[in-house]
Amino acid sequence: MDRIPGFEGGMTADAVSSKRPKNDGAGASAASRNNAARPLVRFEGVTKRFGEFTAIERLSLDIREGEFFALLGPSGCGKTTLLRMLAGFETPDEGRILLDGADISGVPPYRRPVNMMFQSYALFPHLTVEGNVAFGLRQDGLPKDEIAARVSDALALVKLAGLAARKPHQLSGGQRQRVALARCLVKRPRVLLLDEPLAALDRRLREETRFELADLQSRLGLTFVIVTHDQEEAMSLADRIGVMDHGRLMQVGTPPEIYEQPNSRWVAQFVGDINVIEGQIVSIGADGMLIDSAAAGRIHLKQTPQAEPGGTVWVALRPEKLRIALDPPASTEANCIAGQVWDIGYLGDVSVYKVRTDGGLEIKAAAANMTRLVERPITWDDRVWLSWAPEAGLVLTR
Which residues of the shown chain bind other proteins in the complex (CB under 8 A)? Answer: 87-89, 108-111, 114-116, 118, 120, 122-126, 135-136, 139-140, 167, 169, 183, 187
**CB 186 → other proteins: shortest distance, Å?**
9
**CB 71 → other proteins: shortest distance, Å?**
18
Which of residues 127 and 325 has its CB atom nearest to other proteins in the complex?
127
Residue type (1 letter), 267: V
**CB 89 → other proteins: shortest distance, Å?**
6
159: left (phi over 0), alpha (psi -120 to 50) or beta: left
Residue type (1 letter), 49: R
Which of residues 139 and 283 has its CB atom nearest to other proteins in the complex?
139
Evaluate whether 396 touches 313 at the Cβ level (below 8 Å). yes
Evaluate whether 350 touches 369 at the Cβ level (below 8 Å). yes
Which of residues 87 and 220 has its CB atom nearest to other proteins in the complex?
87
Query: In whole angstroms, what is the distance from residue 364 CA to residue 195 CA?
Result: 33
Which of residues 223 and 251 has its CB atom nearest to other proteins in the complex?
223
**CB 183 → other proteins: shortest distance, Å?**
7
Which of residues 193 and 395 has its CB atom nearest to other proteins in the complex?
193
Pairing of strands 94-99, 68-72: unpaired
Q: Is 225 exposed, middle or buried (0-12, 13-18, 19+ CB in 10 A)?
A: buried
**CB 109 → other proteins: shortest distance, Å?**
4
Which of residues 32 and 115 has its CB atom nearest to other proteins in the complex?
115
* Angle (nearest 5°) at CA 394 between 392 and 396: 170
**CB 70 → other proteins: shortest distance, Å?**
20
Which of residues 91 and 139 has its CB atom nearest to other proteins in the complex?
139
Phi, psi of 6 (to 5 degrees): 80, -5
**CB 192 → other proteins: shortest distance, Å?**
11
- Reference 336, options 283, 376, 277; nearest CA is 277
**CB 135 → other proteins: shortest distance, Å?**
5
Which of residues 182 and 386 has its CB atom nearest to other proteins in the complex?
182
Element (H, E) at 150: helix 144-157
Evaluate whether 284 touches 307 at the Cβ level (below 8 Å). yes
- Reference 381, options 345, 346, 342, 354; nearest CA is 342
Q: What is the 3-state secondary structure (H, E, C) of 130-148?
A: HHHHHHHHHHCCCCHHHHH
What sign for the dihedral angle of Cα 247, 250, 252, 258?
A: negative
